[in-house]
Chains A and B, each alone.
Chain A
Amino acid sequence: MRVLIVEDEPQLARHLATALEGAGHQPCIAHDGEEALTVALGGDFDLLVLDVNLPRLGGFEILKRVRAAHLTVRAIMLTARGEVEDRVRGLQLGADDYLAKPFAMAELLARIEALGRRFPAEPQKVLRVGDLSLDLETREALRGGRCIEFSAREFALLKLLMREPGRVFSRTELCERVWEREHEYDTKLVEVFIGRLRRKIDEESDAPLIHTVRHAGYKIEAS
């Protein structure tokens, strides 16, 4: 995908570009709003990664003008203000997604990946990894005919892991995405909840699904 990164902080823009390249995209950087608009209107981009707070021309304004020019480019807004009104405004102006700063690079890449699919995946009701299936409506899981129930946090954690089987989630990212707010016992919480999931899912099985990746984090994968 050809991606235009519009971000006034050079270091952040560089990191984003490197990571996108690593994921097989062709990134291009613009540092201020006016430059970004010219480049966006002139070039053939698949995706804009737009900072909201930009010198000379704000992210919302760029999005509005791009949409006014009937460009069908997709857009992800990055903002320092995780405020409701910003989110609503961005989505109203035709942003496809929205990410509050600071964010995990893995999350940004995952969201770009999701936008990149030509046909967005049907919202799944049941997630499957190996012989484990998780019903998102009843919040119950089945493994080898055995029914497993989960507490609120266990379910949220398992759902996150099962959405992207095989991807390694760092503890920090799990904390961010399951607990959203910082806990004073973050690390311990993640460990305890992973432990519980293991007991419930893997204890009576020869083929464990939840794996610890040393120095990196956790993943769920059928071996």
Chain B
Amino acid sequence: MSFSLSLRSKIVLLAVASSIVVLVVGAAGTWLMLRHVAVRELDARLNTDAKELFRDFDNFTGGPRDQRAEFTERFIPLALRERWIELAGRHGELLYRSESLGDTTLAGAPPGFSNREIDGQPVRVGVFESEEMRLYIAADLGEIRRFERNLGMAFLLALPVVGLSLALTGRWLAHRALQPIDEVTRAAGQITAARLDLRLPEPAARDEIHRLVAVLNATFERLERSFEQAVRFSADASHQLKTPLSVLRVGLDALLHSPKCDGAEKDAVNELLDQVRRLTSLTEDLLLLARVDAGRLELRRVPCDLRHVFDECLDDARTIAEGRGITLEASLPARIEAEADPGRVTIILQNLLENAVKYNRAGGRLCLCVKVTPPWLEVIVGNSGEPIAPERRAHIFERFSRGLSDERIAGTGLGLSLARELARAHGGELELSESADDWIGFTLRLPVVAR
């Protein structure tokens, strides 16, 4: 899930989480320290009280040392009457106990200071000793407890408020920090094959984003140059290749019609003309691929009934198939309406059907099935024959790749690659959909409506 979070959310979440941890630790520390200080102060007050009491006892003649039975409340200074006090003699005998203690005794308290409860009320007990007696003084801890509670509550209440404001600040900061990246993304999105001359706007601050933009712009520069070279190549090559072909074509035509050319020579010239035509066609395929690579393939998409295109291609395929004893089965709807470039669709179909004949076995079957289920036009071309080995399947759409490593089978090895590129240029796809025992199937999908 964390993978789907945007960088902005991640920054905010991290900032808030780490701040809250720091806050909680800090608050807990403060709380513990304040509590410690308050208890220490109380202990100091208990200490003072004890010293005062001992001094009083020393100064008071006729005090508890002599007349134990008469040791009563009146020996306790007014200021200490809200404390709980218990006095024990040298042997542990009870000399005095505040009335408010009732039956509770403080005598079990360990030396030094400790906490305990009197009637469910938290108290701090200090134990002090002089030569003749042991003094227990207890003070109310309620106030400190209330202070602790209030402080804790205040921290708890502050936490969400602080957290929320941190989150908001974090969001704003992240937004500010990432805004240049958003701008880079937007600008980069507009740089397509059609607008490779555009560059990313360079931010004013010479920071990390500036460096990123500089690197990206340099990359786009190189991309544009190589793209231009590819475009120029396809235009130049077109001219450079087709001019000699034209000379050949026209020259052979002239030779064919010259009176000096007799029958046998005419046959030879006709053969040569066929080869020129072949070379022209190969050149055209290569140039078409070069244009595809340069992103300059122009499709002339028109709403049309492709049935005619299918009929023509099937007509050829059937003719070739019959010659090799292959049965052709075709199932296609009466109309095949689509927004497509009929010339390019012809190339795709012709290549698929030619392959299906070429890689078929003698006496085999060839199936063409067309289904129009908007938004797709689906064409399945299947043929009997040797399946394509799994390790070769990934390569059959590569240029100059031949389906079977059978040198006897003629072909340029451009057909499937070109067919796939043309299908993709239409916004469709061409895939090997089946390669089973004695059956190979290709599925062509073309969008019915141009997008």
Task: List A23-72 residues whose CB lies under 8 Å from chain B.
Answer: 53
Q: State the Cβ distance, B261 to closest chain A Cβ, in Å.
A: 9
Binary CB contact string for chain A from 174 to 187 against chain B (1 if under 8 A, 0 otherwise): 01100111111111
Residue in A82, A85, A152 with the greatest tally of chain B CB atoms within 10 Å:
A152
Is B201 at the interface (CB under 8 A from chain A)?
no
| Pick from A15, A53, A172, A186: contact of B250, CB under 8 Å | A15
Is B249 at the interface (CB under 8 A from chain A)?
yes
| Pick from B284, B300, B312, B320: contact of A152, CB under 8 Å | B312
Is A105 at the interface (CB under 8 A from chain B)?
yes
Whether B243 lies near A80 (C-beta < 8 A) is yes
Whether B251 lies near A83 (C-beta < 8 A) is no
- Expressed in whole angstroms, the Cα–Cα distance for A15 and B250 within the complex equals 7
Is A214 at the interface (CB under 8 A from chain B)?
yes
Binary CB contact string for chain B from 202 to 228 against chain A (1 if under 8 A, 0 otherwise): 000000000000000000000000000
| Pick from A84, A180, A188: contact of B323, CB under 8 Å | A188
B346: A residues at CB distance < 8 A? 180-181
Is B254 at the interface (CB under 8 A from chain A)?
yes
Whether A182 lies near B280 (C-beta < 8 A) is yes
Of the stretches B44-52, B160-168, B234-242, the one at the interface is B234-242
Count of chain A residues near B, Cβ 8 A: 47
B350: A residues at CB distance < 8 A? 181, 183
| Pick from A12, A84, A105: contact of B300, CB under 8 Å | A84
Whether A172 lies near B298 (C-beta < 8 A) is no
- Expressed in whole angstroms, the Cα–Cα distance for A106 and B354 within the complex equals 29
Q: Taking A102-B245, A152-B308, A175-B277 as contacts, is the C-beta distance between A170 and B256 under 8 angstroms?
A: yes
B254: A residues at CB distance < 8 A? 15, 18-19, 105
Is A216 at the interface (CB under 8 A from chain B)?
yes
B394: A residues at CB distance < 8 A? none
Whether A183 lies near B316 (C-beta < 8 A) is yes
Residue of B nearest to A151 (CB): B315
Q: State the Cβ distance, B1 to closest chain A Cβ, in Å.
A: 49
Of the stretches B21-29, B187-195, B265-273, the one at the interface is B265-273
Binary CB contact string for chain A from 132 to 161 against chain B (1 if under 8 A, 0 otherwise): 000000000000000000011110100000
Residue of B nearest to A80 (CB): B242
- Expressed in whole angstroms, the Cα–Cα distance for A53 and B239 within the complex equals 8
B239: A residues at CB distance < 8 A? 53, 80-81
Is B438 at the interface (CB under 8 A from chain A)?
no
- Expressed in whole angstroms, the Cα–Cα distance for A151 and B310 within the complex equals 12
| Pick from A153, A187, A216: contact of B315, CB under 8 Å | A153
Q: State the Cβ distance, B39 to closest chain A Cβ, in Å.
A: 91
Is A104 at the interface (CB under 8 A from chain B)?
yes
Q: State the Cβ distance, A110 to closest chain B Cβ, in Å.
A: 13
Whether B263 lies near A184 (C-beta < 8 A) is no
Which residues from chain B sit less than 8 Å from chain A, CB to CB?
A: 235, 238-239, 241-243, 245-251, 253-254, 256-257, 263-264, 266-267, 270, 273-274, 276-278, 280-282, 284, 298, 300, 308, 311-312, 315-316, 319-320, 323, 343, 346-347, 350, 354, 358, 410-411
